[in-house]
Amino acid sequence: MSTENVSVNFKCPKCGCAIISLPDDHTDESHAACKECGADFGPYGDIKKRAVDLVKSEVNRTIKEAFKGVKGFKIT
The answer as to whether 10 is a domain residue is no
Q: Compare 42 and 7 and report the one with higher pLDDT.
A: 42
The answer as to whether 72 is a domain residue is no
The answer as to whether 8 is a domain residue is no
The answer as to whether 49 is a domain residue is yes
DSSP character string of 48-76: HHHHHHHHHHHHHHHHHHHTTT-TT----
* Residue 4: pLDDT over 60: yes
Structural domain boundaries, residue 24: 20-66
State the pLDDT confidence band at 10, using cuts at 50, 70 and 90: confident
Report the pLDDT value the prediction gives residue 13, as an integer from 0 to 100: 93
**What are the beta bridge partners of residue 40?**
33
The whole-number average pLDDT for the span 28-51 is 95
The answer as to whether 24 is a domain residue is yes
Q: Report pLDDT digits (tens) over 57-75.
A: 888 888 888 888 888 777 6
Q: Are 33 and 20 in contact (CB under 8 A)?
A: yes
Count of domains observed in the chain: 1
The answer as to whether 29 is a domain residue is yes
The whole-number average pLDDT for the span 4-9 is 77
The answer as to whether 73 is a domain residue is no
